[in-house]
Amino acid sequence: MSAEPDPQPTDDSARTESTRTPESYTWPLACIVVVILPQVLVPARDRVGPPLLVPMMEGVAFLAMFIIAAKPGPVPRGARPFVLFLFGLLILANALATIRLVLLVLNGGKVDGSPLTANRLLVAGAIVLITNVITFGLLYWQLDSGGPSGRILDPVPYPDFQFPQTVTNGLAAPGWQPRFHDYVYLAFTSALAFSPTDTMPLVGRAKGLMAMQSVISLSVLVVVLARVINILPG
């Protein structure tokens, strides 16, 4: 009997393989740079914080991620706890910067020798909100389903978030898995809508983090914008 030819991979299996390739760290690294630059380039007289310690911590996180990602081959799964720790520090630093900003706004007076003008407050609020979106997006990306290295496994670990493409057929190719930009959008909607939109948190830690992110954004929007409205001429 002649040997049967090996079955050719179907289009579905080919698409599944293409969606399971290791994810690049280029965009996460670029987003950390986006967070750092305004904090070091905008003069202190034109903003309110954050303290110098915050961009220093973000710089350390960038260098550590760059060293990990620069090694040949996929990023090792063993590096994930360290990366999660770094992202947690970034979120903690931004939360402390938010508390400092809110207290300064409530107390009034001068900061760094300059009065609290509407422009300074708007710049400070924008820096905190941008940092809030990017740092939580980074943490969601690294936390969900074992991180980017876990989402290329078969089977994929249980998810922390439920994206609509994973539960409804026809919305994406078979084997679809979220990428970094999906988590940044998740963080963006959580920061501005104060609640889940199209993506739902499934586990307690995901729900707690989304609640924390919403509180940070709400604090900045309510306190800072209220102060700005009072400062602006009627």
Mean local confidence (pLDDT), 151-176: 83
Q: How far apart are CA 172 and CA 170, in angstroms?
A: 6
> Please, where are the H alpha helices in the chain?
11-19, 26-41, 53-70, 80-107, 118-143, 147-150, 180-193, 204-219, 225-231
Strands 114-115 and 110-111: antiparallel
Residue 15's pLDDT band, with cuts at 50, 70 and 90, is very low
Residue 171 has pLDDT above 60, yes or no: yes
The pLDDT tens digits for 77-104 are: 778 888 899 899 999 989 988 998 888 8
The one-letter code for the residue type at 166 is: T
Phi then psi for residue 197, to 5 deg, are -115, -90
Residue 110 has pLDDT above 70, yes or no: no
The residue with greater pLDDT, 224 or 2, is: 224
Mean local confidence (pLDDT), 56-67: 88
pTM for this predicted structure: 0.84
- Residue labelled with tokens 């290295």: 149
Mean local confidence (pLDDT), 177-195: 91
Q: How many C-beta atoms lie closer than 10 Å to residue 84's C-beta? A: 15
Tell me how many degrees the CA angle 157-93-26 measures, rounded to the nearest 5: 50
The residues spanned by each domain of the chain are 23-67+77-231
CA atoms within 13 A on the CB side of 132: 30
> What pLDDT score does 52 carry?
79
Residue 4 has pLDDT above 50, yes or no: no
Nearest to 149 by CA among 209, 94, 42, 74: 74
Nearest to 223 by CA among 105, 117, 130: 105
- Residue labelled with tokens 């995901």: 206
